[in-house]
Amino acid sequence: MESFIDRTKVADDLINACFIVDDTPVNATYWAQLQQSAAGYDTPDTGWATRWRDMAPASLLRVKDAERFADMIEEFGIRGKFTCLPCPAALGRVDQAVRGFSDDDLKRILSIIRDRIAKQMDITPEVLTHTQPYDPETGARLPHAETFWLTHLCVTGQAEKLRAYLRHAWKILSNVGIRARGLTVGGMSDFSGIAQGKSLACGDGRDVLGEALIAIEREFNPKVHASFIYTGAPSYTEEGKRKRAPETVFKAGDGAVVHELQSIVDDPIFPVILGPCDVVAKTTDALISPGLDRGLLVDEAESGRAVVFTVHCQTLVALDSGVGLDIMHEVCRRLKERYGKRLVWHTALELCSAIGV
Ligand SMILES: [Zn+2]
């Protein structure tokens, strides 16, 4: 159904919103630590990686959780950005087979993403694996963190290798009927030191990434004139900061633009990554209170910023308890109750075109 709202002319009293989901269809926290430790590197048991070994039973997305997510975005008309990893945790390619998923479950998850979620969200690769880089030529897994391998390719100007990497992602997703738009770069640490202190997540090399991204998207659709990246790099303009607006990171000679999304930094449902732990109500209310008058997302909306937040496959499924999904369902219900039609959900590209700077 077409919306009647002209997304390029959002009135002052409307609240722009964008719902971001990263890491699907695996628990990237678990797999990144597991493979890093198998490669002989220490893995810290802090922050996101606290008790990462306990996440083993919930290391892959279940079909029923993917279905519940699609139900939720359809119920509330939510739009945003959703990751589909082409080679999740390097366990295989989604257009072939992925170790741990039955062929049937993989097919069902992909059809939920393609036939339901993609109608309301831009589907991005989060490069290929979100663990270690996968060499498109040989199929080898390289002994680095993928984010920093990409940073290395960008800052050392290895444009052909960078394009081959992105092309592989687009090709795999297009083989399963998904036309990827935009690119997410996963949060990781540079355990091998390949990037020598540089990081896409600090903005290093992202103009090079933007240029390669437009080129690859055009190989699959020559009409592409805009795209976006999401690396977690902080805002660099006053206006971007004030509005939580996507910011330009690359402009081609013909006017094509690549923006960087800006989101609330911390995953607001991170407290349930290891299951309910008695914090479900507290985590829900911290986003928007039962009286609808307080909470992080209310503060964002009332301050005139776009309401842009990021959750993860592993925080939604919350150790296969599903409480992350419960929380977000209730949060979206409360947001709708408070703001009604003033709340305008955008895909990432729609947000860029509505308020990008
Ligand atoms: Zn991620």
Encode pLDDT of 106-127 as tens digits: 999 999 999 999 999 999 999 9
Q: What is the pTM of this model?
A: 0.96
Q: What rounded mean pLDDT belongs to the chain?
A: 95
Sign of CA dihedral 215, 219, 223, 228: negative
Q: Report the phi/psi class of residue 317: left, alpha or beta, with left for phi > 0 and alpha for psi in -120 to 50.
A: alpha
User: Residue 129 C-alpha to ligand 1 middle, in angstroms?
Assistant: 10
CB 147 within 8 A of CB 202: no
Please state, as a whole number, how many other Cβ atoms lie within 10 Å of the Cβ of residue 88: 32
Residue 218 burial (CB < 10 Å; 0-12/13-18/19+)? middle
Distance CA 304, CA 14 (A): 9
CB 270 within 8 A of CB 315: yes
User: Residue 194 C-alpha to ligand 1 middle, in angstroms?
Assistant: 19
Enumerate domains of the chain plus CATH numbers. Answer: 15-355 (3.20.20.370)
User: Residue 150 C-alpha to ligand 1 middle, in angstroms?
Assistant: 14
Per-residue pLDDT tens digits for 136-145: 888 889 999 9
Distances from the Cα of 281 to the Cα of 110, 242, 246, 272, 321, angstroms:
32, 30, 31, 11, 15
pLDDT of residue 139: 86
pLDDT of residue 33: 97
User: Residue 250 C-alpha to ligand 1 middle, in angstroms?
Assistant: 22
With a cut of 80, say whether residue 1 has pLDDT above it. Answer: no
With a cut of 80, say whether residue 10 has pLDDT above it. Answer: no
Tokens of 104: 């049937």
Distances from the Cα of 95 to the Cα of 85, 169, 172, 175, 184, angstroms:
11, 11, 6, 6, 20
Which 8-state DSSP code applies to residue 295?
S
User: Residue 5 C-alpha to ligand 1 middle, in angstroms?
Assistant: 31
The identity of residue 92, as a single letter, is: G
Mean pLDDT of the 32-38 span? 95
Mean pLDDT of the 260-271 span? 97
User: Residue 47 C-alpha to ligand 1 middle, in angstroms?
Assistant: 14
pLDDT of residue 162: 98
